[in-house]
């Protein structure tokens, strides 16, 4: 099924220009708005989008401020809730493309924390929430001293960057890791202290908010993820306020399950979940 790839720029309520793209099939049954993770960009979801298009699902994403082709210091955010302005613009575009059809919100890693925070703050309806290896709890490869010092560093040395994360933590697939490292739009720097501290605060807020959310939710996580702890997904699953909740842990998978060795099964199960809630089965 051939589709159309759209490129566009969006302007947020605070005046930031975001670069975005959408992958749209000839017949659209639902649209998935994707919030990418820290230090990456929307273009890394092209393979997922192509498979989604084959099921009649459109995919739309933007490069968050400080990421990809969007302006700003790499991975920097002054306040975590600034990212919610980016999601406001993304969801408006998704709804435009959906033209009354269901819209799902998906977030990967830090994007998962952003998506959950957006839902808790905005209280706007979407057909379902998808959390991929969401940053809900810090993983084992994040230095605990850095976590403890995060509030102080954020205040006094907000632009300080620590040791970069080992790219091999994203996947067991050497080709996927090599592509990540070679991607000029991926930032291989560690995030600034301010961004890290803001993310930690958002994690705590998201745990507190989960019980008040009741829309359908699909959480999936690699059980060998060392960047974001799979226990965080389990906690949100247990706290979730609605009955339609699914948690899928992938044995041996690392941070990017959809780019790991079980990618075909990961994506197939994810798309099955969306299709069941967004359109007649195909």
Q: What pLDDT does 235 receive?
A: 96
What is the spatial distance between Cα 6 and Cα 17, in angstroms, rounded to a whole number? 16
**Active-site residue flag, 255:** yes
**Active-site residue flag, 81:** no
Q: Nearest CA to 250 among 218, 211, 221?
A: 221
What length is written for the chain? 282
CATH of domain 4-276: 3.40.50.1820
Active-site pick, 82, 86, 225, 229: 225
What is the spatial distance between Cα 253 and Cα 144, in angstroms, rounded to a whole number? 23
Active-site pick, 36, 67, 108, 255: 255
Backbone angles phi, psi at 30, to 5 degrees: -165, 165
Active-site pick, 42, 61, 109, 187: 109
- Give DSSP secondary structure letters for the chain: ---EEEEEEEE-TTS-EEEEEEEE-SS-SEEEEEE--TT--GGGGHHHHHHHHTTTEEEEEEPPTTSTTS-SSTT--SSTTHHHHHHHHHHHHHHHHHTTS-EEEEEETHHHHHHHHHHHHH----SEEEEES-SSSB-TTS-HHHHHHHHHHHHH-TT-B-PPPPGGGG-S-HHHHHHHHH-TTS--SPPBHHHHHHHHHHHHHHHHHGGG--S-EEEEEETT-SSB-HHHHHHHHHH-SSS-EEEEEETT--S-GGGSTTHHHHHHHHHHHHHHHHS---
pTM greater than 0.85: yes
Ranges of residues in the chain whose predicted pLDDT is under 50: 280-282
Task: Give me the half-sphere count of Cα atoms (radius 13 Å) on the Cβ side of residue 160.
Answer: 14
What are the domain boundaries of the chain?
4-276
**Active-site residue flag, 67:** no
CA distances from residue 133 to 5, 221, 248, 254 in whole angstroms, order as listed? 26, 5, 10, 9
């Amino acid at each position: 099924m051939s589709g159309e790839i759209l490129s566009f720029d969006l302007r947020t309520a605070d005046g930031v220009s975001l670069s975005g793209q959408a992958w749209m099939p000839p017949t659209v049954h639902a649209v998935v708005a994707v919030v990418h993770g820290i230090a990456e960009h929307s273009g890394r979801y092209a393979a997922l989008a192509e498979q989604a298009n084959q099921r009649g699902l459109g995919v739309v994403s933007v490069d968050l401020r400080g990421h990809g082709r969007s302006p700003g210091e790499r991975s920097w955010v002054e306040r975590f809730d600034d990212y919610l302005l980016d999601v406001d613009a993304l969801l408006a575009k998704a709804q435009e493309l959906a033209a009354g059809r269901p819209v799902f919100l998906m977030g990967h890693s830090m994007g998962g924390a952003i998506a959950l925070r957006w839902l808790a703050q905005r209280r706007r309806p979407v057909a379902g929430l998808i959390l991929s290896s969401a940053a809900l709890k810090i993983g084992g490869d994040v230095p605990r001293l850095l976590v403890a010092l995060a509030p102080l560093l954020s205040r006094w040395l907000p632009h300080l960057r620590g040791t970069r994360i080992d790219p091999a933590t994203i996947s067991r697939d050497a080709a996927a890791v090599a592509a990540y490292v070679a991607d000029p739009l991926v930032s291989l720097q560690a995030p600034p202290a301010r961004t890290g501290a803001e993310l930690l605060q958002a994690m705590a807020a998201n745990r507190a908010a989960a019980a008040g959310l009741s829309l359908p939710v699909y959480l999936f996580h690699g059980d060998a993820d060392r960047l974001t702890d799979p226990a965080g997904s389990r906690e949100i699953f247990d706290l979730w306020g609605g009955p339609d909740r699914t948690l899928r842990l992938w044995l041996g998978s690392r941070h990017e399950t959809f780019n790991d060795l079980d990618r075909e099964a990961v994506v197939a199960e994810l798309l099955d979940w969306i299709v069941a809630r967004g359109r007649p089965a195909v």
